[in-house]
Amino acid sequence: MAKMPVSITVNGQRYEREVDPRLLLSDFIRHEIGLTGTHVGCENGACGVCAVLINGKTGLSCLAFAVQCDGDEIETIESLGTPSDLHPIQEAFWENHGLQCGFCTPAMVLTAHELLSRNASPSRAEIIEAIGGNLCRCTGYQTIVDSIEQAAEQMRAGKEEAA
């Protein structure tokens, strides 16, 4: 099958490639540009581990072809923090044991990031609703919700301090 040109901005950097029209966005992110923080589980939209931000909104990268994202802006977990300088959401997951194996964590953190960017003070019910499409086999979810609640508090306090 003829390859197609695609231009996708990931974490602020534009990537231009010739790709198979059936290449999934998740495979583009992991294999074409080597950002393996985006995980792949079911590949049919059921588990949520492949979630990234597509033009600022959470989207499942296993359900989109890369060519459908031509011109789009994607944000992956690699855009948030570093091991020595964690983002407040990552810090809160660390402090509240919001992860065990970590397989679901990049998508959970990005989902929280999207939620907190549009709602700085989500209720517990709103947090639970936001992560409703993200499966976690390890934690039982309570510590994930605790983590997002604490991240929201810390991010609000950080904004007040900066004001």
* 137 binds ligand FES, rule: CB under 6 A: yes
Specify the residue for token string 């390890």: 138
Gap between the Cα atoms of 3 and 16, Å rounded: 12
Q: Cβ of residue 62: shortest distance to ligand FES, in angstroms?
A: 3
Which position among 38, 79, 139, 143 is part of the footprint of ligand FES (CB under 6 A)? 139
Q: Which residues between 53 and 72 bind ligand FES (CB under 6 A)?
A: 60, 62
* 106 binds ligand FES, rule: CB under 6 A: no
Which part of the chain contacts ligand FES (CB under 6 A), choosing from 13-21, 99-107, 110-118, 154-162?
99-107
Q: Which is nearer to ligand FES, 21 or 45 (CB)?
A: 45
- CB burial string 5-36: b at 16+ within 10 A, e below: ebebebbeeebeeebeeebbbbbbbbebbebe
In terms of Cβ atoms closer than 10 Å to its own Cβ (0-12, 13-18, 19+), residue 44 is exposed
Q: Which is nearer to ligand FES, 14 or 31 (CB)?
A: 31
Q: Which residues between 1 and 60 bind ligand FES (CB under 6 A)?
A: 40-43, 45-50, 60
Please give the full DSSP string across 81-143, using - where no structure is assigned.
-BTTB--HHHHHHHHTT--SS-SSHHHHHHHHHHHHHH-SS--HHHHHHHTTT---SSS-SHH
Helix, strand, coil proportions of the chain in percent (round to 5)? 40, 20, 40
Q: Which is nearer to ligand FES, 42 or 120 (CB)?
A: 42
Number of residues that bind ligand FES (CB under 6 A): 23
Q: Cβ of residue 95: shortest distance to ligand FES, in angstroms?
A: 15
- Contact residues toward ligand FES (CB under 6 A) are 40-43, 45-50, 60, 62, 99-105, 136-139
